[in-house]
Chain A
Amino acid sequence: MPEVKLINIGKTYEGGMQAVKDISLTIKDKEFLVLVGPSGCGKSTTLRMVAGLEEITTGDLFIENEKVNDLDPSQRHIAMVFQNYALYPHMTAYQNMAFGLKIKKVPKAEIHKQVMKAAEILNIEDILQKKPGKMSGGQRQRIAIGRAIVRRPKVFLFDEPLSNLDAKLRGQMRIELAKLHKKLDATIIYVTHDQVEAMTLGDRIVVMNQGEIMQNATPMDLYLNPNNKFVAEFIGTPKMNFIKGEILKIDGELFFKNNHFLFNISKVNNQQLENHIGKEVDLGIRAEDIYAEVGNLENYGKVHAQIVAIELLGNEKLIYSELEEHQLVAKFSAEQEVQIHTTIDFYFNLNKTYFFEKENGKRIN
């Protein structure tokens, strides 16, 4: 059972820069785990520590119950796919894929069998004799994945493998990677800064920021129940809206007060709000939970704001408006008639609001 366990893993560079702080994480057998976060959050460093390309400063790393802290990358039974493919330029695709096995002194016939098998899975039989310089980005990435498959590793490591591809190809490769995961039944750790990639590929997502794990959950759980403001903002497009305000209790009812409006939040199912009366908080709401009409909304708050920009996306449109220092974005259906530079009412579905502590961004719930 190839299970990867990170126990209190930390990385401090010479000069004291702490890239990863005390991370504990278990990647289950056959799981597709995505590490996601902004650049510099420590996700790639974490992956490189698992690969053995970066020394682990503190903590223990186990792959299939074996402590591998001091093992060379080649002894860890891992395979890695790099962002810029990292194919050997002087070798053909076939030689690139065979190189690792050749070093391990695997018999030629066996190497051939493995390479052809991987080539068939990836549908690259016809480019095996080409050198990387003569291939397209997508083909190179396939060869790089092929090189990983041929090793028959216990764990696949992907370091932003799709970032160098154009948008269309990226979408295509994303689907292929998901299929490949099913086909290979493999344990995968996948690093990306693209939350869409994370959401579509991952069985589980670990959101990282400044060397720490912000949240570790399934994609839907991250989306619906973010632990903190960082995750709420990072996951989902467009970004969640945040509005600063204060929680007040007036005549036994709870209110969220802002310079522009007063929402009655008594019906919001959140017991913890009582503990934050008189405190400043951030109210978070996703674009799709803001409406142009009351419709069937039962528990709503109304905000009056001017539209400053409209982005038409086809079946829906994004409406940008400004409310003091806050920029609001709402997602309306394309049929909804709105005019730029007009002032309209926005209806917030208060049942779908989130509240975060102002000081540390922690979710109040």
Chain B
Amino acid sequence: MKKILIYIFLSLAAITFLYPFYWMIVASLSPESEIGGLLFLPSEFTFASYTQMFSKIPIGRALFNSILVATLTTTGVIAFSSMVGYALALMEFKGRNVIFYIIIFTMTLPFQITLIPNYITMVKLDLVDTYAALVLPFLLNSFAILLFRQAFLGMPRALIDAARVDGCSDLRILFQVLFPNIIPTIVIVGILTFMNSWNEVLWALIVIRDESLMTMPQMVTLFSVGGRAESQLGVKLASAVLLALPIMIAYSFFQKYFIQSMASSGLKE
């Protein structure tokens, strides 16, 4: 009996989360006139909102930009953060712990604090309105460094010694010996980074003006609130669906790792 109550409660909670998504998708496929109601199913399905959206904004280009930026950022974070994590976990040098604590400290700083200095840096480097502006500031990530460091600390020391005797350089140890053994960590870092990069809108709004370089969230935001959707709700919703879709697909594939990452956060000592 108690179990049934719990299930009912959880189901209701799940519905409150799922319904807005469901509504968004269904509404984007409904004729414009029917969107107002809290409908379950429209009288007919139509792709009118989508075709309109494609004709109004270069959403295809934005999708490409988003994928490019997110992929570059993710690859960069995995490569560079793992190197830093490796150094912090396995190399001995003076000030190692101090550096580690400083890196951890940066996790407590909200992005908004570094927003202006970062922007000024981009201006000085003449990188405004380039892909580099979207990728460079995100290539290192303290959380990813922490995750990698912990993963490397968990590896047996002798494994690294054996690799050294076999003649491996540090880079080879990292990528050929350790990487194949920390795949869950890599996947977690990959998903989190990809998601963060995909959803980043504020930074893109600041450093990108050129429409051909805009990412999806930026494009959709400008489109929805910038007036070009001409208060057509269906078109706005269609763009929102397109924005959410890749993440939802990725989530369904990597769900197992994703929940693991949220549950453990890699904070095993």
Interface residues of A (CB under 8 A from B): 48, 51-53, 72-74, 78-80, 82-90, 99-100, 103-104, 147, 151
Contacts and interface: CB of A to CB of B under 8 A. Distances in A.
A82 B161 contact: yes
B172 interface: yes
B164 A53 contact: yes
Interface in B131-178: 156, 158-159, 161-168, 172, 177
B51 interface: no
Give the 9 A-B CB pairs with smallest separation, nearest first.
A74-B167, A86-B158, A100-B166, A90-B180, A86-B162, A82-B158, A73-B165, A103-B167, A73-B164
A104 B158 CA distance: 21
Contacts of B156: 84, 86
B15 to A, nearest CB: 43
A99 B167 CA distance: 9
B166 A90 contact: no
Contact of A103 (B159, B161, B172): B172
B158 A84 contact: yes
B164 A72 contact: yes
Contact of A53 (B159, B161, B167, B177): B161
28 contacts: A52-B164, A52-B165, A53-B165, A73-B161, A73-B167, A74-B166, A74-B168, A78-B165, A79-B165, A80-B165, A82-B161, A82-B162, A84-B156, A84-B158, A85-B158, A86-B156, A86-B158, A86-B162, A88-B159, A88-B163, A88-B180, A89-B180, A90-B181, A100-B165, A103-B168, A103-B172, A104-B167, A151-B166
A41 to B, nearest CB: 19
A84 B161 CA distance: 12
A80 B167 contact: no
A90 B180 CA distance: 6
A100 B168 CA distance: 8
Contacts of A79: 165
Nearest to B160: A86
Contacts of B161: 48, 51, 53, 73, 80, 82, 86
Q: How many interface residues does chain B have, given as a range?
A: 10 to 19
Contacts of A82: 158, 161-162
Given A89-B181, A90-B181, A103-B172, A74 B164 contact: yes
Does more than half of chain B's interface fall in helix, strand or loop, or is it mixed? helix
A68 to B, nearest CB: 13
Contacts of A72: 164, 167
A13 to B, nearest CB: 10
Contacts of A99: 166
Contacts, number: 58
Given A78-B165, A79-B165, A80-B165, A88 B158 contact: no
B159 A86 contact: yes
A111 to B, nearest CB: 13
Given A84-B156, A88-B163, A100-B167, 15 more contacts: A51-B161, A51-B165, A72-B167, A73-B165, A74-B164, A74-B165, A78-B165, A80-B162, A83-B158, A84-B158, A88-B162, A89-B181, A99-B166, A103-B166, A147-B162
Contacts of B165: 51-53, 73-74, 78-80, 100
Nearest to A88: B177
Nearest to B164: A73
A103 B163 CA distance: 10
Q: Which of B163, B165, B177 has the most CB of A within 10 A?
A: B165
Contacts of A89: 180-181
B43 to A, nearest CB: 56
A90 B163 CA distance: 13
A151 B166 CA distance: 8
Contacts of B172: 103
A294 B194 CA distance: 86
Contacts of A74: 164-168
A114 B64 CA distance: 50
Contacts of A52: 164-165
A195 B166 CA distance: 30
A261 B181 CA distance: 65
A74 B170 CA distance: 13
A94 to B, nearest CB: 14
B152 to A, nearest CB: 14
Interface string B85-99: 000000000000000
A228 to B, nearest CB: 33
A206 B181 CA distance: 38
A361 B47 CA distance: 94
A86 B164 CA distance: 12
A87 B159 CA distance: 7
A342 B236 CA distance: 99
A86 to B, nearest CB: 4
B96 to A, nearest CB: 12
Contacts of B158: 82-86
B177 to A, nearest CB: 6
B104 to A, nearest CB: 23
A103 B164 CA distance: 11
A95 to B, nearest CB: 11
A83 to B, nearest CB: 7
Nearest to A100: B166
Nearest to B168: A103
Contacts of A88: 159, 162-163, 177, 180
Contacts of A84: 156, 158
Contacts of B162: 80, 82, 86-88, 147
Interface in B95-148: none
A90 B179 CA distance: 10
